[in-house]
Amino acid sequence: MPISGGFYKVPEETVKIGGNAFQIFPHNARQWKAKVPDDKAAARFKRNMEKFKIDEDSAFCHSGYLINLASPKEDVWEKSLELLEKEIRICAALGIKYLNIHPGSHLGKGEDVGIDLIVKGLDEAFRRTKGTDVMILLENVAPKGNAIGYNFDQMKRIIEMSAFPERIGITYDTCHGFDAGFDIRNPDGVRKLLDEIDKSVGLDRLKMIHLNDSKYPLGAAKDRHESIGLGYIGREGFKNFLSFDEIRKIPWILETPGGNEEHAEDIKRVLEIIGE
């Protein structure tokens, strides 16, 4: 959901398009700048969370695009840590429990170096924000370039190496997962995915689904999101995926093309699919 109208507008705009859960950027996603809302703005947002009946487990922030905790460039890593700390403070001020991040890109230095840097950055951010209970959700990404976090073994390593495992959860993005070869179009594929999550990081860490169709076939690693039902996962694929209890009980967030109008259409389609 856009925050251009102010944080307080988001719960109402969510309900207006037929939603009951939302994800926002805590600041302009393409800038290093961020500002923690003052008490008045935070109170106004919280009042509307109640008024429009958005559950506290259904509100998420998505970290800015410039952040790369796996960066071997010292200045980028430092700035990433600073901004992540600020984002955690924004979430805490708004009473938002979950901040979703892409684990990072090692820029050619290798997975081990990248994972070390990610853990170091996360732990320092957690240390600086002790006393807040904001959780970081590691999002599975497409296996593209030097990205870390396209399989659950990488997630597991990050969580196990961290000194604050209780503050780390995960997000499953259906487009990115499809890009990485997880075929959720049939029951066996979903079972296999859920087992893999459970054995690696534990299913109780799964706090959000990014519900996106894919413009490209299974395993393409393109990271091109499509409207629900119109891509290669397709209506039947989502009907299968969304029939699992483990998926049903977690909030679903759309990151499909377009704005509020298109997302309202997506929500309608999802409701049709699960009603069939």
Is 62 among the residues that bind Mn ion (CB under 5 A)? Answer: no
27, 89, 225, 263: which is the annotated catalytic residue?
225
Site for Mn ion in 12-51 (CB under 5 A): none
Which of 156, 70, 144, 160 shows the shortest CA–CA distance to 110? 70
Closest CB to Mn ion among 132 and 151?
A: 151
Site for Mn ion in 193-212 (CB under 5 A): 210
Site for Mn ion in 254-273 (CB under 5 A): 255
| Residue 173 CB, nearest approach to Mn ion (Å) | 4
207-246 footprint of Mn ion as x/- string (CB under 5 A): ---x------------x-----------------------
Whether 173 sits among the annotated catalytic residues: the reply is yes
Whether 98 sits among the annotated catalytic residues: the reply is no
| Residue 255 CB, nearest approach to Mn ion (Å) | 5
Give CA–CA dist 4/26, Å, rounded: 11
82, 255, 262, 265: which is the annotated catalytic residue?
255
Buried b (16+ CB within 10 A) or exposed e, 51-85: ebebeeebbbbbbbeebbbbbbeeebbebbbebbb
Whether 30 sits among the annotated catalytic residues: the reply is yes
Closest CB to Mn ion among 42 and 69?
A: 69
Whether 261 sits among the annotated catalytic residues: the reply is no
12, 47, 65, 112: which is the annotated catalytic residue?
65
Any long-range contacts for 142-146 (C-beta under 8 Å, 24+ apart)?
142/175, 142/176, 142/179, 142/180, 142/221, 142/222, 142/223, 143/179, 143/180, 143/221, 144/179, 144/221, 144/222, 144/223, 145/105, 146/105, 146/106, 146/107, 146/108, 146/114
Task: Read off the DSSP letter of residue 243.
Answer: T
Please work out the total of residues on this chain that contact Mn ion, with binding judged by CB under 5 A.
4
Site for Mn ion in 164-183 (CB under 5 A): 173
Whether 172 sits among the annotated catalytic residues: the reply is no
**141 neighbors 111 (Cβ within 8 angstroms):** no
Whether 223 sits among the annotated catalytic residues: the reply is yes
Which of 249, 114, 99 shows the shortest CA–CA distance to 167? 99
**200 neighbors 254 (Cβ within 8 angstroms):** no
| Residue 207 CB, nearest approach to Mn ion (Å) | 13
| Residue 127 CB, nearest approach to Mn ion (Å) | 27
Whether 210 sits among the annotated catalytic residues: the reply is yes
Strand pairing partners for 99? 61, 136
| Residue 224 CB, nearest approach to Mn ion (Å) | 8
Closest CB to Mn ion among 116 and 255?
A: 255
**141 neighbors 103 (Cβ within 8 angstroms):** yes
Whether 133 sits among the annotated catalytic residues: the reply is no
Whether 246 sits among the annotated catalytic residues: the reply is no
Tokens 């389609």 found at:
269
Enumerate the active-site residues: 30, 62, 65, 102, 139, 173, 176, 210, 223, 225, 255
Residues that bind Mn ion (CB under 5 A): 173, 210, 223, 255
